Structure 1
Amino acid sequence: MILSFSKMVGLSGVDNNENARARRIGRMFEWPMILIAFWIVFEWYLEARADGPLPYTYITDWFLWTFFLLETLVLTAVVDDKARYLRNNWSNLVIVIAGMPLLWQAFPHAGGLRALRLLAMFTMLMNMSGSFQKIMGRNHLGPTLMVSFIIIIMAGTLMAVIDPNVQTPMDGIWWAWVTVTTVGYGDIVPGSTAGRLFGSVLILMGIGLFSMMTASFSAFFMQQEEEDLIAKETANADRLAKMESRMEQLETKLDQLLTIALEAEQQRREQGRDLDGGER
């Protein structure tokens, strides 16, 4: 699910079938990109507090754009199938071309394209987390989350229609989210009988969905422990098998040495008899 989403948005990174050097360099770019992701969020927070661009925003925009350009050029150079890499990472080209700070100066409305960088960071975080991908792929957790998301959207939109206290679909979606998660902030409360009945059904549904997700997570981690234990037992069995093989080799060599020693002793005795017979 995560990999297909990454390919859909054109940010799938280096393919697993690429050469080892390309995969290693791709991993080297991951942690600097994580730091850049945190900086982008922090910078946007500072700009929101300052009600405008910061004095150093122009410099940081150029730095981030240069880093995206460097990553795209380097990885394109080291991969074997360059066409496949560019095809699976077409968003990198969009970010590099449309994300040039000089373009934002000439066309101020194009500054909204800066949001593409955050999409790249979000997708890369998902691609980095192997455990997250395994969890999503096993125990039907991915489809469960997708169904939960659809239920929240539909329930929130429907709640905005049937209850007068929910003014907009966005308010309804927020209410459905905090209801399904059993958080219940209380900022939006159903006022009509139909709304309360619908909320009761959604609460029961939320308990069931979260129970399924909790069970999936628990099953995943238990399975991980079992796999680690099996891997350790397999490694121990391999070591024992190697030790047995070496012992058998030692026994074979000892038998050979013993046979050689017995043959040498027998030859020495025969030579001794021959000498005794000659003297007589």
Structure 2
Amino acid sequence: MPFHPPSRTWGLAQPPGSNVAAARAALRWRWPVFTALLATIPAFYIELLEQLPTPLATALYLAAAGVIGLALLDAARHLDHPRQHLRRNGLDLALVAGFVLAAALPASLGSPASLALRLAVALLSLVRMVWTLRPWITRGGLGYLMLLAFAVLCVCGAGFWALEPRVQTLGDGLWLAFTTAATVGYGDIVPSTPASKIFSVFVVLLGYTVLSLVTAAIAAMWVESAERRIEREILHDLHRQVRALREEIAALRADRPAGR
């Protein structure tokens, strides 16, 4: 599927008119940045789980900040106005600063301020990851959306399996992820720890968004089918009227007296 850069973006894609080298640099860093952002998800929960070492979380946060910073600098060095490029990518700059602070602050369990900042950074990371996937979330991309929904369900199910003591199997984790994302809430399994409760917030935000996109894509397919049928009927009627008009003109020419 071809990628069409947006006219204005918070991400690494260049606006129209940027040179080719900067655009290629942005595309080259797209998936490394996405992977680095994805790695900060376990870093957030490492800070919440006392039995896991916090140096690993610090390393993941700093690695994400370094990758995003290198991506920004690599794209900016090919431009005539690098500062303008940095201003356009304010979200990435905020993420770099947020990841550095998240790595420097004390553990979230003992500091509400640290937890609030890491939550804010996690939400910004989620927005950035969705923005990265935006070229694949198109009106006709139902297959990509279904694949994305399946991947989100599996990741969220595995997350509940790792974070929630009441979830004994991966199947229970998938079930809890689905009921949470769909906002059904049967109540047979509920999050009970601070880590799983916070995780459920992101599951609702991400899962509800993906489910909405899937249902919207399916509805768009029905609307497009109806539009195509109406267009065919309009074209058929137009061709019939043009054919009748041609026949009428031919009849008038045949009835016209010779020499006139």
- Per the normalisation by structure 1, the TM-score is 0.42
Which one has a bigger Cα radius of gyration?
1
| Higher helix fraction (1 or 2) | 1
- Per the normalisation by structure 2, the TM-score is 0.44
